[in-house]
Amino acid sequence: MSDRLLVLVRHGQSEWNLKNLFTGWKDPDLTALGVEEAKAAGKRLKALGLGFDIAFTSDLGRAQRTCKLILDELGQSSLKTIRDQALNERDYGDLSGLNKDDARAKWGEEQVHIWRRSYDVPPPGGESLKDTVARALPYYCQHILPRVLRGERVLVAAHGNSLRALVMVLDGLDPDGIMKTELNTGEPLVYRLNADSTVASKDILKA
């Protein structure tokens, strides 16, 4: 009997996370801490005896590197890994590359807060979380979930907002609930699903 395993991991700390910059579809690398976070995630998964049949990641380097570091720790460096921009971080548009404090100075505290924390209001030239859900969730339903339900053990290494789209459905959250949900860098969420795709169990592997 398969345990229908799905593990979601937000990439380790990136250079722009450290600098408090809006990142979106820009492609900074992991910091030294981010590398250690990814390795530690792999070690925690290994300690539980978990391994994978396939991995999914985004089209951005920080998620891809996190995925590779986790698989290296598991001794699965050659595992098939599918990359797709459907799993990319939310596109922050004109905010991308800006320091969050500078953005507040330019547009005002309230406006930046709305862009960051509302479900359906996008920043200029960018995506809202609702937009991100609209591309990440169909990809999950078409490409990831069927594999889990067939009994494959699946790892997804992606981003705070693209993973929120999946957590929103898995945890049955409404838009307000998902906006209040924080996903820590390098912290695996271990789901086991029922045959009807609902969640049988969820564990957060904290550092």
Give me 43's structure tokens: 């070690």
- Give tens-digit pLDDT for 149-180: 999 999 999 999 999 999 999 999 999 999 88
- For the chain, the structural domain boundaries read 5-204
pLDDT value at residue 3: 82
Q: At what angle do helices 61-73 and 32-47 cross, to 10 degrees?
A: 40
Q: Could you tell me whether strands 189-193 and 199-204 are parallel, antiparallel, or unpaired per DSSP bridges?
A: antiparallel
Q: Please check the confidence at residue 1 and state whether its pLDDT lies above 70.
A: no
- Give tens-digit pLDDT for 30-77: 999 999 999 999 999 999 999 999 999 999 999 999 999 999 999 999
If DSSP codes are grouped into helix, strand and coil, which group holds residue 40? helix
For the annotated catalytic residues, the residue numbers are 11, 89
Tokens 């969730």 belong to which residue? 137
Q: What is the CATH number of domain 5-204?
A: 3.40.50.1240
Average pLDDT, stretch 133-154?
A: 97
Tokens 């391994």 belong to which residue? 51
